[in-house]
Amino acid sequence: MMLRSLPAGFLRIPDPQISQRAKSAHVEALGKRESAAEILSEAKELMKPGSTAVVVGAQWGDEGKGKIVDVLSENFSVVARYAGGHNAGHTVIRDGNKFILQLIPCGILRPGCRAVIGNGVVLDPMALLREIGTLRDAGVPVTGPAAADRSSANLFVSNRAHVILPYHRMIELAAENAPGRVKIGTTSRGIGPAYEDKMGRRGLRVADMLDPALLRKHIANACAEKNMIAHALFNTEPLDQDAMYTEYARAAEQVAPFVCDTALLVNQAIGAGESVLFEGAQGTMLDIDHGTYPFVTSSSATSGGAATGTGVAPTAINSVIGVTKAYCTRVGEGPFPTEIVGPVGDELRKRGNEFGAVTGRPRRCGWLDLPLLRYARMINGISWLVVTKLDVLDEMAEILVCVAYKLDGKKRTEIPAHASGYERVEAIYEKLAGWRKSTSGVTSFGKLPAEARAYLQFVEKESGARIGMVSTGPDREQTIFVDDFTAQLGMEKTVDRVKARA
């Protein structure tokens, strides 16, 4: 029978005996070469288990991933970005200095840590060079693998990542403002059109950008086509392909020392038993497949994206850490069932300083949404939850938490799959008592006010994910660690240091 859209497994009746027989046949076949024990030990040799974890946003981005990756990165020798581009803005505060990282993983700020920009990222070379310049100006060394002393290299850019070109931004800006188009409220960085070209198999990869002849040919063809499209659809002025080539050829020379096969690098690190952290950008609800489509970004922001976006096997990922705010925010257009419009929302924005790290746009604020958090847990396989910005709720007399939705008069706990469903959704809230005491900088669960502990326990119970860390301020030290979490990640030293400094 020929199956077109159904998976072949659709026809298979689950039969444990069949899978047992298949296993034996497999071992038998392999046994012709060597014994099963030998095969097993060879497999172990190939997959030395270093600790690998994905840090993923459990909401609509800006959950505080930057701070959390920074805290965790002390225990990881590689930190790799796998999706998005310079639409991301990850804030890290180090020794009182604020860094906003857009393309470069936060691991760059840790001496001895290697930062990797994976193949799943879309790269604007000018944005990368600006970011490298800003880091160096702030005294952070940034060196690529082509440096004379390769051992000091700490930034690696995938040769397979796709390149953002000026026509991507041109088309995005025109499309966002065109009559009749659904406005997404993008960051205007050309992210969506760059991924469109990647999927349309007409994109430019970093390796090709480094070849001047290929670069010239690509720009000549693509620019002519994009100019025509933009003029026909949006009456946009054409871009100059010669100026574009000159700018990109110059940038390519400066980017070249950082470029390598990052899939090989990350896999070799894992094989050698090193620990690798995958730094998610955006958040679950902005994921191209699983988010509030079409109000999403154009990449796989969820944990699955870490495998395809860096070239590691899904089986190489040990744990997934989901980051959620103690409340909820969103930038840009799209559904937001727990949004608070009015003075309470304004107060959250003010206390949480909820303005976009990249665009400065005010973030929409709302209450924590548990159906959404449970969904994020399922889609990402979240094993540990990190709750950030607990201190922002300090002044609230009462705190609302959405526990379910009402859709067409019926209570439901799952989130709708399409935009029209969200429009009809009503949040069902449970009210919890506020604590009205400062939690800012608290470093142990026991020192939190009883109501704050109750709030976290409620979130843990209702979301079904264990809380591993709680953030009580933007600084590294303003963090509560849960023992089981730190033991699993081997972070005892970090905890001691944080407690000593706090």
Task: Report the distance separating Cα 109 and Cα 124, nearest Å.
Answer: 21
Among 51, 297, 300, 388, binds ligand IMO (CB under 6 A): 297
Task: Report the distance separating Cα 263 and Cα 458, nearest Å.
Answer: 40
Question: Any idea how long the chain is?
Answer: 502
Residue 19 burial (CB count, 10 A): 11
286 binds, among ligand IMO, Mg ion, ligand GDP, none (CB under 5 to 8 A by kind): ligand IMO
Could you list the residues that contact ligand GDP (CB under 6 A)?
57, 61-67, 89-91, 93, 353, 357, 388-389, 391-392, 471-474
Backbone angles phi, psi at 130, to 5 degrees: -65, -45
* Positive/negative CA dihedral, 221, 225, 230, 235: positive
Among 203, 332, 345, 416, binds ligand IMO (CB under 6 A): 332
Catalytic-role residue among 86, 90, 162, 218? 90
Q: Which is nearer to ligand GDP, 269 or 448 (CB)?
A: 448
Q: Which is nearer to ligand IMO, 269 or 379 (CB)?
A: 379
Q: Which is nearer to ligand GDP, 158 or 187 (CB)?
A: 187
Please identify, among the stretches 26-34, 132-140, 356-364, 396-404, the one whose residues bind Mg ion according to the rule CB under 5 A: 356-364
Residue 399 burial (CB count, 10 A): 21
Q: Is 62 a catalytic residue?
A: yes
- 88 in contact with ligand IMO (CB under 6 A): yes
CB of 60 vs Mg ion, minimal distance in Å: 10
Amino acid code (one letter) for 58: A
- 352 in contact with ligand IMO (CB under 6 A): no
List Cβ neighbours of 109 (8 Å cut-off, separation of 6 or more).
70, 73, 92, 94, 99, 140
Backbone angles phi, psi at 314, to 5 degrees: -55, -30
Please identify, among the stretches 199-207, 250-258, 350-358, 484-492, the one whose residues bind Mg ion according to the rule CB under 5 A: 350-358
CB of 14 vs ligand GDP, minimal distance in Å: 40
Q: Is 250 helix (H, G, I), strand (E, B) or coil?
A: helix
Q: Which is nearer to Mg ion, 89 or 473 (CB)?
A: 89
187 binds, among Mg ion, ligand GDP, ligand IMO, none (CB under 5 to 8 A by kind): ligand IMO
- 62 in contact with Mg ion (CB under 5 A): yes
x/- mask, ligand IMO, residues 184-223, rule CB under 6 A, reads: xxxx-x-xx-------------------------------
CB of 417 vs ligand IMO, minimal distance in Å: 18
Please identify, among the stretches 33-41, 84-92, 231-239, 452-460, the one whose residues bind ligand IMO according to the rule CB under 6 A: 84-92
Concatenated DSSP letters of 177-218: HSTTSPP----SSSHHHHHHHHHTT---BHHHHTSHHHHHHH
**Cα angle at 386 between 381 and 392, to 5 degrees?**
140
List Cβ neighbours of 345 (8 Å cut-off, separation of 6 or more).
339, 364, 365, 366
Find where tokens 């040769």 sit.
159
Please identify every residue annotated as catalytic: 62, 90
Contact set with ligand IMO (CB under 6 A): 57, 60-62, 87-90, 184-187, 189, 191-192, 281-283, 286, 297-298, 331-332, 357
